[in-house]
Amino acid sequence: MKKKLAYLNKDVSRTDIEALRWYSIDVEVGHTKVYHGHHKIYAKLSPIARIVLDHVCEKMDKKNFIKNDKKFKASLKRKFKNKKYADNSINRAFRELYDAALLDDTGRRGIYQVNPLFLWKGSEKARMKLLREILEEPYTGIIKEQRHQRLKRKNEQGNQSGPTEKR
7 pLDDT above the threshold of 90: no
Residue 166 lies in a domain: no
The total number of structural domains that make up the chain: 2
Are residues 62 and 109 part of one domain?
A: yes
Are residues 121 and 55 part of one domain?
A: yes
Are residues 64 and 119 part of one domain?
A: yes
Rounded to an integer, what distance in angstroms lies between the CA atom of residue 114 and that of residue 65? 6
Are residues 72 and 62 part of one domain?
A: yes
Are residues 74 and 8 part of one domain?
A: no
Q: Which 3 state secondary structure label does DSSP give 128?
A: helix
The torsion of the CA quartet 71, 72, 76, 79, rounded to 10 degrees, works out to 60
Are residues 108 and 75 part of one domain?
A: yes
Q: Which domain holds residue 23?
A: 1-30
The beta strands (E) that lie in the chain are given as 2-10, 20-28, 33-34, 65-67, 103-105, 111-114, 119-120
Share of the chain above pLDDT 70, in %: 92
CATH code assigned at 115: 1.10.10
Confidence band for 26, pLDDT divided at 50, 70 and 90: confident
Residue 137 lies in a domain: no
Confidence band for 161, pLDDT divided at 50, 70 and 90: low
Residue 155 lies in a domain: no
> What pLDDT digit, counting tens, does each position of 96-113 carry?
999 999 999 888 999 999
Name the pTM for this structure: 0.69
Residue 140 lies in a domain: no
> What pLDDT digit, counting tens, does each position of 102-149 carry?
999 888 999 999 999 999 988 899 999 989 888 888 777 787 788 788
Residue 138 lies in a domain: no
Are residues 57 and 102 part of one domain?
A: yes
DSSP 83: S
Residue 88 lies in a domain: yes
Are residues 89 and 116 part of one domain?
A: yes
